[in-house]
Structure 1
Amino acid sequence: MISDRFPLPEKSGADIRTMNLARYFASLGPIDIAYLSNLHSGSVHAEGAEEDFEKDDIFSGKYRLQKLEYPSSLRGRFGISVRGFPYPVREYSKASMEKLFSLIESGGYDYVLVRYLRNTGGFFGLSQIAKRKVIIDIDDVLTHSLYDTLFAPTNNALRMLFRTINKVLLAYYQTRCVTVFGACLVCSEKDKSDLWGERASESTFVVPNTLGTRAPGELRMESGFNRRHVLLFIGALHYQPNVSGLLWFLESVYPRYRNVYPDAVLLVVGRCPLPEVIEVCDRTQGVELHPDVPDVIKYYRDCRAVIVPLLEGSGTRLKVLEAALLDRPIISTKKGVEGLDVVSGVHFLEFDDGPSFCEAYRTLSDEATYDALVTRAENVVLEKYSHSTLSTSMSKVVSYIDFKSSEFSSLFSRSHAPAG
């Protein structure tokens, strides 16, 4: 497994998905990990986190990698893009690339799982046999609504031109990955369509997000119906789609909600808040920012409903799955639940502005409606986003890799057989 960071302890959606995939492969045999950043992600850890870390550490071998710094000049950025590394794909250092090639080509691995397209730099140089073993978990499709969030806003014509060219190169790079490597994973049918269109490649598989080690019903949660008007926003506060959605909600939706419910509170919980998040939370009445908390359960207990005000992004939202299993209704934009098999008014309540949010929230004043939303959301998560669903999906991927590898090995052997 090749990952941005060592995914323990599981403090984010990215880490949860990484560990879910790792646990699947660990059920097949020993698994090693090559990672880019420090062991512990996040700055605050729960009491006993070290013990949990040791208990959950399933990796047999660990290898630390480095990438080259991304060029600061526009010329340098354009140069690496046309050389085959469109942003955000970056080159590994020479030592790390040599280590990776040595491990992949001679490490005896049956499968090589790469988390994120951006970590595949240089992999086209692998042998044909090795490339057949590579599974790329694309996760977020970067060439659609997420693309603009990769960059800071600019009016510079040259920078805008570079970003346009880079997007074309990134789309081409993405297509090469789908056609060259053994398999590619996405989180939803929507992402599969965005990635490949109607002519979906047989090597592209939907592997939905599932929750981590916390099992349904593991924590007793009292109904939130009688809670005061407390909303919960939860997510990484340095991830641009979360930041943009939260700022939009605070500026365009929350003031109207506070006018209707003057005692309302919004709990904003997440890792690594950007300065603009801290500033807007500080100056907005009725907002509490709780950064880098060791456990989010307290905040679910304190809230009446969970909001997902996303306007961009891809994948499936682990925060929606978690809220469903912790007995809190979800009020979301359409984008916030995109990729999940849920229906507005059945599993969640949809909004797109201040009035529609207040109208959605008012429906929660009926206890039967509140309880029904919670129950139906939990049921759909248990049915379609369970660990067994992930295992079934990944079994298809592994079977496909095995078949194609065997097929390729047979062709290779015949082509190198001595003439009769």
Structure 2
Amino acid sequence: MGGVLFLAHRVPFPPDRGDRIRSHHLLKALARLGPVHVGCFGDGDAAAERALAELAASHCVAPRTKPLPLAGAEAVLTGKPVSLTAFHSRRLAAWVRETIARERIDAIVVFSGQMGQYVPDEFAGRVVIDLCDVDSAKFESYAAAGERPWLNAREARLLAREEERLGQRADATILISEAEAALYRSRLTTPGKVNVQVIGNGIDAAFFDPSASALHPVIAQQPRPHFTFTGQMDYRPNEQAALWVIEALLPRLRARFPQAMFHVVGRNPTRALMAHHGMPGVHVWGEVPDVRPFIAAADAVLAPLLIARGVQNKVLEAMAMARPVVLTSEAATGIAATDGAQWLVCPPDHEAMAARIAGLLADREAADAIGAAARRFVLDFHGWGAMLAPLEGLIGKTAEGQRHAA
């Protein structure tokens, strides 16, 4: 019985941020099909590496020590995207080749486009690439918004080439939603040569269960309403969304609800966000051991993302916790919920969103009904088991680890 080589740009433990949640569940699904050998990058988290060692047949965790300026210089000299040079490691490349030579590897599963560079050209087994979303389009959005336009336009152009190369190399290329798959196909020069598949994000609804978590005790003692935003807060789209709430939306909400509080919850808040901490109505919590009490205490969870790729775990988590979610159409991508029934979708207009939130708070019974419907929706359509069921067919294995007949 052969094994699977799983390559990820971060250690898939702990599952506490969007990409690591998906890679974590991918790895667990693969491990149920047979032995998995894992190559990834890490930051020296010993507990995460121990957890990886318990699940993987073998593993290599390369340190992320390359400074970004050095990765940028390498990118310019080699004509590659910075995203690739930043994740290039001779140690990891050697380990991949040694593992393929030593073990019987039937398939390579690549999580995120940065790791496709490690798939040897001569590898004859199946290759599955999980791009998740179209990174090149994200950099195009940054350039269009005036953020380092030359650098981001270059990154977008070169990443688009790499995304097409990977699609042509792989037996299957996975995107996280039908919208991302359509976007990816639209950017290919030869779409007929790429087998595009969709595997959405799931949610651990047993963990994100409102009955399993109390309200945050500090927030519960304060006057309502409370609004929560969760995420990795040094990720530019999250920072941008949180700042938009603080600077544009919150003043409109506090004009209607003078004691309204906005809670920013997530690791590594930027200097711009921390500058607002302690201002009227703003609490920046930073990293917390458990986001559930903050979600449970919210009258509404906000996700007004202006730039978003793929499926937002923060939205699924809030829905599983039976909280009404107010979000932009960008944050709604890939989740087939209905506006007004399982969430509220608004344009990124502070007056319109404030009015929609005011209407939500005016009818608590209706707000609770939206939250209950949201939880039912994720239970029915976004369990990880259902989401990852196609994986075994894509890598050519059954649940017993046997190869499918060709």
Place the TM-score, normalised by the shorter chain, in its bin.
Answer: 0.7 to 0.9
TM-score, structure 2 length as denominator?
Answer: 0.84
Alignment pair present for 1:12 and 2:17: yes
In 2, Cα distance between the equivalents of 1:76 and 1:126?
22
Query: Structure 2: how far apart are the matches of 1:209 and 1:172?
Result: 25
Does residue 76 of structure 2 align to residue 78 of structure 1? yes
Q: What is the root-mean-square deviation in Å for CA atoms of aligned residues?
A: 3.4
The runs of 5 or more residues in structure 1 that have no matched partner are 42-49, 408-420
Contact 2:231 2:266 in 1 (8 A): yes
Tell me which structure has the larger Cα radius of gyration.
Answer: 1
Pairing of 1:267-346 with structure 2 (within 5 A):
267-282=263-278, 284-346=279-341
CA shift, 1:332, in A, is: 0.5
Distance apart, 1:64 and its partner CA = 1.9
Change (3 A) 1:271 1:70: closer
Give 1:266 deviation, angstroms: 0.7
1:18-33 → structure 2 map (5 Å cutoff)? 18-33=23-38
Gaps of 5+ in 2: 1-5
Q: Which amino acid aligns with 2:158?
A: L
Letter paired with 2:97:
F
1:241 and 2:237 matched: yes
C-alpha distance in structure 1 between counterparts of 2:22 and 2:161, whole Å: 26
CA 1:217–1:95: 2 relative to 1, 3 Å: closer
Are residue 167 (structure 1) and residue 151 (structure 2) matched? no
In structure 2, give the amino acid aligned to 1:17. R
* Letter in structure 1 aligned against 2:29: Y
Q: How many Å separate the matches in 2 of 1:40 and 1:73?
A: 23
Report what 1:137 is aligned to: 130
Residue 371 (str. 1) matches residue 334 (str. 2): no
Deviation larger for 206-215 or 63-72:
63-72
Query: 2:111, 2:49 → 1: CA distance?
Result: 23
The answer on whether the counterparts of 2:215 and 2:294 sit within 8 Å (CA) in structure 1 is: no
What is the DSSP-based 3-state SS (H/G/I as helix, E as strand, rest coil) of the residue aligned with 1:307?
strand
Q: Could you tell me which amino acid in structure 1 is paired with residue 253 of structure 2?
A: Y
Separation (CA, whole Å) in 2 of partners of 1:406 and 1:74: 45
Deviation of the 1:397 alpha carbon: 2.0
- Work out the CA distance in 2 between the residues paired with 1:355 and 1:152: 22
Deviation (angstroms), 1:12: 1.3
Q: Against the structure 1 CA distance between its residues 185 and 277, is the aligned structure 2 distance closer, same or farther, given a 3 Å change threshold?
A: same
1:14-413 aligned within 5 A: 14-38=19-43, 40=45, 54=51, 57-66=54-63, 69-72=67-70, 76-80=74-78, 82=79, 85-90=80-85, 92-123=88-119, 125-129=120-124, 132-149=125-142, 160-161=149-150, 163-197=152-186, 199=191, 203-212=195-204, 214-215=206-207, 217=209, 219-220=211-212, 228-282=224-278, 284-351=279-346, 352-364=348-360, 365-399=362-396
User: Compared with structure 1, are the counterparts of its residues 117 and 74 closer, same or farther at alpha carbon in structure 2 (3 Å cutoff)?
Assistant: closer
Taking a change above 3 Å as real, the CA distance of residues 112 and 150 of structure 1, as seen in their structure-2 partners, is: farther
Using the TM superposition, give the Cα deviation of residue 100 of structure 1 relative to its aligned residue in structure 2, in angstroms.
1.4
- Against the structure 1 CA distance between its residues 56 and 361, is the aligned structure 2 distance closer, same or farther, given a 3 Å change threshold? farther
Change (3 A) 1:52 1:299: farther
Tell me what 1:2 maps to: 7
Tell me if structure 2 keeps the 8 A contact 1:281–1:288. yes
Distance (Å, rounded) in 1 between the aligned partners of 2:337 and 2:205: 23
Query: Compared with structure 1, are the counterparts of its residues 327 and 405 closer, same or farther at alpha carbon in structure 2 (3 Å cutoff)?
Result: closer
- After the TM superposition, which of the residue ranges 252-261 and 66-75 deviates more from structure 2? 66-75
Q: CA deviation at 1:372?
A: 2.2
Q: By how many angstroms is 1:406 displaced?
A: 6.9
CA contact (8 A) 2:168 2:194 kept: no
Q: Deviations over 1:174-207 (max 9, x none)?
A: 1110111222211100000111129576622111
Residues in 2 aligned to 1:104 and 1:214: alpha-carbon distance in whole angstroms:
37
- Normalised by the length of structure 1, the TM-score is 0.82
Residue 288 of structure 1 aligns with an amino acid whose one-letter code is: H
- CA offsets 1:34-85 (integer angstroms, 9 cap, x no match): 12113539xxxxxxxx6997599422322122575555597653322x2xx3
